[in-house]
Structure 1
């Protein structure tokens, strides 16, 4: 377990125990909102530095959230899109993710090809161009 993961787990445990107590005790030096903000910031930094593709289960639940999509094997294909959710209507295959990019163009992504032809992240990986080249030997 990484040091950052241990720190996040410790902060989350502190948040949970504080919520269960119903108030802060004198052993807590941060307020609950400060602890939550800190845990979120650490988690987001860890995700940028150690990018992990979203699982299909998490991806399906990203309705209304921005995602960073990459077409595997296509240099410079990474871009932000707004995930509009899972659909089985109006698509040529069963099960698709509908996303809209910044220009307003909609794309249907087939779940069956996830991880083979395209991947998605919650955050844009730092140095994403180099990292993706190494990961997929482009």
Structure 2
């Protein structure tokens, strides 16, 4: 059976088209995973800082200065984030409004900055958190 001149190249063209679509799809799925991580991670960090402030005997509130490290644990349920956060004392008293923009206290006192390790379970469908581990130095 003879093929018309133009039809011989179609299977190769279809293969190239399929392969190029495969490359286009891959980065999109990775971006979705990163967005899911950041969607649930940031509220978990806020919960960690709030928990620290509630348990602290200090009259001043602490605020996140830096995320030193973070990772999502490989468990099925719930999503568990382990993070090391650097928290620093602010000039605002606890339970005041606007703590997320309250300025840090000046000085390098030993009580001004804490480095804390948190392990927190996040029940994503209900925005519920469970503190598994909390250690500060």
For the criterion TM > 0.5, the same-fold answer is no
TM-score (norm 2): 0.30
Where is the strand percentage greater, Structure 1 or Structure 2? Answer: 2
Greater RCO, 1 or 2 (C-alpha within 8 Å, sep 6+): 1
TM-score (norm 1): 0.29
Larger Rg: 2
